[in-house]
Amino acid sequence: MKKVTAFIGSARKKATYQAVQEYEKNLKQYGDINFEYVFLSDYRLEFCQGCKLCFDKGEGFCPLKDDRDLLLEKLELSDGVIFATPNYAFQVPARMKNLMDRLAYILHRPKFFGKTFTAVVTQGTFGGNDIRKYLESMGGNLGFTVTKGCCVRTLEPMTEIREKKLQQEIKKSSERFYKRLIRSTPSFPSFFRLMLFRMTRTAIQTTDVHYFDYYYYKDQGWFESDYYYETKLGLIKKMMGYFFDFLGKKMLKHM
C-alpha cells in the first residue's frame, strides 16, 4: 500500500479537484493506493516574513505559528506527492506559492529522498506548461524524485474531445508516477543535481560564518559523501563531482 497526497492550490472543488480525482482513479487501477486530498485553503499558512531564521538558525525558529508543520508532516508521511494547481495569471495561485516560500529552507537542506513527486496543472487556455515545469523543478529541489506531470485544459464547456484529451494526459502522467512510486530506491542523481549538491556544499563548507546549514550538512555526513544519499556514481559522475568541487571553490574566490 502506497500513500499518495495531493496538495491542491485551488480553493474550490472544481476543475483541479476533478483532474486530481481522475488521477486518483487511474492510480487505483494500477495498485493499492491510500489517497488523500489536502486543500491548502483549509490550512492556515501565513505569508513568509523573510526573516531567514529558518535558513540561518533552523526551521524551528520560524516566528509564524500556523499549520506549516501539519503540512510538512503530510509530506513526510507520503510515498508520493502531487502538487495540483490552476494556472492563475501564468503562475501558481498565491496559496501554492506561499507554500513554496514556507518550504524554501528545504532547498538548502533537501529531505524527501526516495519519495515520488509530480505536478498537475489545470488552465483555461495557455501558459500552464511553464507552471508544470516550475513545480517539477521545485519537487526536485525539495529532494523528491520527479516524474513528468501534466497540464490540462478545462475551458467550459468541456466537450467530449476536450474531456478525452484531459483523460489521456492524466493517464500518461499517472502511469509514469505509479511506475516510479513502486520503486523503493531513490533515483541516480543527474549531472545537474550532482552539481547543485557539490557546489552548494562547497559554499556552505568554505564560508567563515557557520549557519544552520553547516551543522546540518556536518550531521548528515554530507561534507564527506558523494551525494545526499548512498548511490553509485560511476566513473564519469565521480570525476564530474570532483570537477564541481573545484569549480565551486574557483567561483567562490571571485565572488
Ligand X SMILES: Cc1cc2nc3c(=O)[nH]c(=O)nc-3n(C[C@H](O)[C@H](O)[C@H](O)COP(=O)(O)O)c2cc1C
- Binds ligand X by CB under 6 A, chosen from 16, 116, 118, 200: 16
Q: How far is the CB of 121 from ligand X (least distance, A)?
A: 8
Q: With contacts defined by CB under 6 A, how many residues of the chain interact with ligand X?
A: 18
10 sits near ligand X (criterion: CB under 6 A)? yes
Could you give the CA distance from residue 143 to residue 110 in angstroms, rounded to a whole number?
5
How many Cα atoms occupy the beta-carbon half-sphere of 243 within 13 Å? 10
CB of 128 to ligand X, least distance (A): 6
Segment interacting with ligand X (CB under 6 A) among 11-19, 30-38, 105-113, 137-145 = 11-19
The three cell numbers of residue 48 are: 513568509
Note the Cα 118 to chain centre separation in Å: 8
> Alpha-carbon distance 33 to 16, whole Å?
20
Give which of 36, 23, 70 is closest to 174, Cα–Cα: 23
- Binds ligand X by CB under 6 A, chosen from 5, 26, 98, 123: 123
Site string for ligand X, 131-160 (x = CB under 6 A): -----------------------x------
Gap between the terminal Cα atoms of the chain: 49
Out of 42, 57, 124, 223, the residue judged to bind ligand X by CB under 6 A: 124
Tell which positions 86-105 bind ligand X, by CB under 6 A.
Answer: 86-90
Here the cell at position 56 is: 540561518
> Residue 34 and residue 117: Cα distance in Å, rounded?
15
For ligand X, the closer CB: 154 or 200: 154
**Phi and psi for 3 in degrees, rounded to 5?**
-95, 120
Q: Which residues have a Cβ under 8 Å from the Cβ of 208 and sit 6 or more positions away?
A: none
Q: At its nearest, how many Å lie between ligand X and the CB of residue 202?
A: 39
Backbone angles phi, psi at 117, to 5 degrees: -135, 145
Q: Which of 70, 62, 15 is nearest to 38 (CA)?
A: 70
The distance of closest approach from Cβ of residue 209 to ligand X in the complex, given in angstroms and rounded to an integer, is 42
Task: Quote the least distance from Cβ 157 to ligand X, whole Å.
Answer: 13
Residue nearer to ligand X on the CB measure, 129 or 187: 129
> Which range binds ligand X by CB under 6 A, 22-30, 48-56, 121-129, 137-145?
121-129
User: Closest CB to ligand X among 12 and 165?
Assistant: 12
Told to check if 165 binds ligand X by CB under 6 A, we report no
DSSP H or E stretch at residue 36: strand 33-39
Interface residue list for ligand X (CB under 6 A):
10, 12, 14-17, 86-90, 122-127, 154
